[in-house]
Copies of this chain bind each other. A is one copy, B any other.
């Protein structure tokens, strides 16, 4: 294949981990005989500082013309204390999602044996946790009509049938590729929008007779994820519920710093770590590059390059087994490796494989 990759490094530790993602991408392409080229573009606080827009038109063009976006992280504390500031890095995220039509946010919740002790949950509960949260990403209250004055405010949780059908299709297809168990999460006992979600899911389910589909209220799902995370295989939900549940899911795994995600839809897909920009660590060469590197694995898998993805996953596992780890996951007494050193070790592993 011939990959044209848009690289959006963003803020904080973004640029450092981005470099490692790119090097891994290049090493894998070389090994498997793919061509790859990169276009770099600005976003987030960095882009606000430079051009006053967290997702400039130019960046959008670069993304649109690419086969995939390798995204790192956005966010800067200088925006944090004023959620009503006119221009904020998060708006860049939302603009990117909307403009690229990234309606499906896919977050595998996976545990790494050597990190299970980092989970806030008892080890026996998370050991077998391995599920995918699919969050609708371009509808619902995030993008519905809003109003605010000094005395009242509202947001509208609006969904149309095509919006619901396309995300449920993604979810059913993921379930088919996995353990064939889909949990549709909603609040159909209260919300009209949830009732439409559930109705459409019930209409579609017979088309996937091999998939066991169950329906769970969002409050129950928030409990079940903690009580029995291994229950889930694929979970799908709307934007706002998904915001809460995907974050809850990532923290129970104990492997938050290692989890990648994909956002796919109408145009170029985006691959990124689930963690943030960790501004305090910027430039210190201590950030863990594994979530970024695993997002490169997701990128390959998206293009059906399974061996490429598998090799990256193998390299990551090997680095963990060899205790080549950044400080936050290093075992007592183990050498602490920097962002670059972990990335380089993985690149070397791939080259030698």
Contact among B148, B157, B199 with A154 in the assembled complex (CB-CB below 8 Å) = B157
Q: Which residues of B contact A252 (CB under 8 A)?
A: 226
Does A153 touch B at the CB level, under 8 Å? yes
Does A222 touch B at the CB level, under 8 Å? yes
Does A48 touch B at the CB level, under 8 Å? no
Q: Which A residues lie at the B interface, using CB under 8 A?
A: 83-84, 88, 90, 94, 120-122, 125, 141-142, 144, 146-148, 150-161, 187-193, 195-196, 198-199, 215, 218-220, 222-223, 226-227, 240-241, 243-248, 250-252
Q: Which residues of B contact A190 (CB under 8 A)?
A: 90, 94, 141-142
Nearest CB to that of A256 among chain B residues?
B223
Contact among B192, B223, B227 with A147 in the assembled complex (CB-CB below 8 Å) = B192
Shortest Cβ gap from A128 to chain B (Å): 14
Q: Is the CB of B84 within 8 A of A146?
A: no
Given contacts A121-B120, A153-B159, A160-B152, contact A191 B247 (CB under 8 A): no
Q: Which residues of B contact A245 (CB under 8 A)?
A: 222
7 interchain pairs, CB-CB under 8 A: A83-B188, A121-B121, A148-B195, A152-B158, A152-B159, A218-B243, A223-B247
Bound form: Cα–Cα A154–B156 in Å = 7
Bound form: Cα–Cα A215–B195 in Å = 32
User: What would 6 more interface pairs be, CB under 8 Å, given A83-B188, A152-B196?
Assistant: A83-B189, A84-B198, A150-B161, A153-B193, A155-B156, A155-B157
Bound form: Cα–Cα A155–B239 in Å = 14
5 shortest A-B CB distances, which residue pairs? Answer: A153-B196, A148-B192, A146-B192, A83-B188, A154-B158
Q: Which residues of B contact A121 (CB under 8 A)?
A: 120-122, 226
Q: Is the CB of B153 within 8 A of A156?
A: no
Q: Is the CB of B251 within 8 A of A248?
A: no
Nearest CB to that of A151 among chain B residues?
B161
Q: Is the CB of A83 within 8 A of B144?
A: no
Bound form: Cα–Cα A122–B120 in Å = 6
Q: Is the CB of B155 within 8 A of A160?
A: no
Q: Is the CB of A189 within 8 A of B244?
A: no
Bound form: Cα–Cα A287–B83 in Å = 46
Nearest CB to that of A196 among chain B residues?
B153
Bound form: Cα–Cα A243–B220 in Å = 10
Q: Is the CB of A244 within 8 A of B227?
A: no
Nearest CB to that of A121 among chain B residues?
B120
Q: Which residues of B contact A158 (CB under 8 A)?
A: 152-154
Contact among B147, B191, B227, B250 with A146 in the assembled complex (CB-CB below 8 Å) = B191
